């Protein structure tokens, strides 16, 4: 699409301007889809990671009540909406088809890009191999995920503070001073005009 727009710009504008426009449109068309896909992936992973601690708590509570892990994951998939719910439903379907739980949960973590779900897969592998109580491990993973989310929020706030200060100093303060300066300028202009009469 951008390549054809670049050719159209070259044909319509001609010369050096058309060639520059064609090159810029071609480069934009080449770079923009990757940037857009990476941004969408990052937003999706953040949305999934934000909901992961609640899902881990739900699975832990269900397992602590004596329900099997596969049923607990299915219940969490039904209770969770959005992209994480869709991924959990996909995991449940693959488990029902006979896929190994450890492999499927590892793939779930890779598909979603969620560190919390990667830790879920690791906890399940350890529980299966060593017989460690799963509910307690999942609760610890949920607490750890919440702590990491709080840390990330604090880091974003720390990064945002200087940007907000720049906006205040260079936009809001001048905008607030503009009426005062305008009134002073009008008063001075009236005084100068009054002297001239």
Looking at residue 8, what is its pLDDT? 57
Asked if residue 164 is part of any domain, the answer here is no
Looking at residue 90, what is its pLDDT? 92
Tokens standing for residue 91: 């995991």
Q: What domain range includes position 138?
A: 2-155
Asked if residue 64 is part of any domain, the answer here is yes
- For the chain, how many structural domains are there in total? 1
Asked if residue 67 is part of any domain, the answer here is yes
CA 128 to chain CA centroid, nearest Å: 32
Asked if residue 62 is part of any domain, the answer here is yes
Judging by beta carbons within 10 Å of its beta carbon (0-12, 13-18, 19+), is residue 9 exposed, middle or buried? buried
Looking at residue 101, what is its pLDDT? 83
**Of all residues in the chain, what percent carry a pLDDT higher than 70?**
88
Q: Are 148 and 114 in contact (CB under 8 A)?
A: no
Looking at residue 31, what is its pLDDT? 77
Q: What is the pLDDT of residues 128-169, one digit of tens each?
A: 777 777 777 778 878 888 888 888 888 888 888 888 888 888
pLDDT of 15 over the 70 cut: no
Q: Is 118 helix (H, G, I), strand (E, B) or coil?
A: helix
Tokens standing for residue 179: 């009426």
* H or E segment to which residue 133 belongs: none
What confidence tier does 1 reach under pLDDT thresholds 50, 70, 90?
low
Burial 11-48 (b: 16+ CB within 10 A, else e): eeeeeeebeebbeebbeeeeeeeeeeeeeeeeebbeeb
Q: What is the pLDDT of residues 98-137, one digit of tens each?
A: 888 888 888 888 888 888 888 888 877 777 777 777 777 7
Asked if residue 177 is part of any domain, the answer here is no
Asked if residue 47 is part of any domain, the answer here is yes
Q: Is 71 helix (H, G, I), strand (E, B) or coil?
A: helix
Q: Please tell me the distance from the alpha carbon of residue 73 to that of residue 44, in angstroms, as a whole number.
A: 20
Looking at residue 192, what is its pLDDT? 82
Asked if residue 188 is part of any domain, the answer here is no
Asked if residue 163 is part of any domain, the answer here is no
Q: Are 35 and 41 in contact (CB under 8 A)?
A: no
CA 155 to chain CA centroid, nearest Å: 14
Long-range CB contacts for residues 75-80, cutoff 8 Å, separation at least 24: 80/51, 80/54, 80/55
């Amino acid at each position: 699409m951008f390549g054809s727009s670049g050719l159209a710009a070259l044909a319509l504008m001609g010369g050096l301007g058309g060639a520059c426009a064609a090159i810029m449109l071609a480069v934009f068309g080449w770079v923009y889809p990757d940037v857009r896909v990476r941004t969408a992936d990052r937003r999706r992973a953040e949305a999934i990671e934000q909901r992961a601690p609640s899902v881990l708590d739900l699975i832990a509570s269900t397992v602590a009540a004596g329900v099997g892990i596969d049923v607990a994951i299915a219940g969490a998939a039904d209770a969770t909406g959005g992209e994480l719910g869709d991924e959990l439903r996909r995991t449940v379907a693959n488990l029902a088809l006979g896929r190994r739980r450890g492999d499927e949960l590892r793939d779930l973590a890779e598909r979603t890009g969620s560190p919390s779900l990667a830790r879920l897969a690791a906890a399940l592998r350890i529980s299966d191999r060593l017989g460690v109580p799963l509910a307690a491990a999942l609760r610890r993973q949920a607490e750890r995920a919440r702590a990491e989310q709080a840390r990330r929020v604090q880091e974003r706030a720390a990064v945002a503070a200087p940007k907000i200060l720049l906006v205040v100093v260079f936009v809001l303060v001048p905008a607030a001073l503009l009426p005062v300066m305008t009134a002073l300028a009008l008063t001075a202009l009236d005084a100068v005009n009054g002297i001239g009469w």
